[in-house]
Structure 1
């Protein structure tokens, strides 16, 4: 059941997907709420799904309390700031304009009806992430001389990227909100997995050989990563 999710309906009408992980080391059920609002339930090997669901319902109040204490979200709205490529851009609503979303200097212009603005900004950012992160991954894979599989962009909370044994790379679209050196590091990290599917010394040498600032990027993500998940 590891990797699955259990939906939990909250008192305010929202539904939270609880990530379920199996652990051979766990001796009891462990419930965690991270800084991004992600909820994880760790189960010992022999605990059944029904018991896990009962546990979640008994602790629903605790989950709601922890979620309520998290920083408020940062919605995409007229005049709000969004850190595209790590630089704040002000959202300008252009209801009379034709088109969808475009960048003009330090402003992100959005056409159309006001109720469509949040989705249009989100879709534009995801498309930019897909294009720019994909180009960077293909460039770095070519420099390493490693075949690259499919590249996908998702809204992941527990990790910024992943690489499968087939050479498929998945990256969090919210990296498009981060500075260049952060995006470069995450992409280099996943591309290095095309050669080394581990985090041993050879892997880290491959990462650093790509000319990225590993320590600075890791520090930035630790300090600022949770904020990126508040946008939208």
Structure 2
């Protein structure tokens, strides 16, 4: 299909017996449009639905174009601060920080992978330390902390007390990380999102409103950075 800016986009039609209505989403990695069709939906109706939502589709595509790239010459946030990715082919050591630059050695073809590997390792160190500090301050101690690669959520807390955080959280500013960790630790006491849960969050962090605004505006870009 073509948007008003004459952008070509692959459309994937996905029939579903469980869907009750037509819905759209952009698959960020493949950058194509997925249209979920309820059972018995006429093709003409589905096509008209896509055409009527062209503005929404174009806005989502423009957001994806702003997604940080882990390639040489790009600027990515690390702990909320912009860092320039510099390819240093004659050096060794993988990837490392030098002030506001992320240096990456080796062949250019491996820059993206080495940047991602660095961020995962850096996230493991920093996020686990921040979780431990907050746990010590609040008395809310998880049974385990895992740092994983997720593209749909920032974190989770299981009934067994295990907390999971996306390594991509390491790109967010300190106040956002503070809120996300407080959110998951609060689930150790309240496994829901009821009033007592939000009161617990407020007792730990003052950053909820500002962090949620930041996550709505900039979070989707970081979840799909590559």
| 2-structure distance, mates of 1:129, 1:147 | 19
- Could you say what the CA RMSD is over the residues aligned between the two structures, in angstroms? 3.5
**Cα deviation per residue 1:193-232 (whole Å; 9 max; x = unaligned)?**
0111111222112111113311010111111112213421
Question: Which residue of structure 2 aligns with residue 7 of structure 1?
Answer: none
Q: 2:79 aligns with which of 58, 82, 85?
A: 85
Q: Does 1:219 align with 2:210?
A: no
Identify if the C-alpha distance between structure 1 residues 194 and 35 changes in structure 2 by more than 3 Å, giving closer, same or farther. Answer: same
Q: What corresponds to 2:222 in structure 1? A: 228
Indicate how the Cα distance of structure 1 residues 211 and 117 shifts in structure 2: closer, same or farther if over 3 A, else same. Answer: same
Out of 145, 159, 173, the position equivalent to 2:153 is 159
SS in 2 for 1:223: helix
For these two proteins, the number of residue pairs brought into alignment is 202
SS in 2 for 1:123: helix
- Per-residue CA deviations over 1:164-219 (Å, capped at 9, x if unaligned) read 10111111221111110001100110011011111122211211111331101011
Structure 1 spans left out of the alignment, 5+ residues: 1-9
> Are the equivalent residues in 2 in contact too, given 1:184–1:212 (CA < 8 A)?
no
What is the TM-score of this pair, normalised by structure 2?
Answer: 0.74
Task: Report the TM-score when normalising by structure 1.
Answer: 0.73
Gap runs ≥5 in structure 2: 1-8
Match of 1:150 among 131, 141, 144: 144
CA distance 1:208–1:68, shift in 2 (3 Å):
closer
Give the match for residue 23 of structure 2. 31
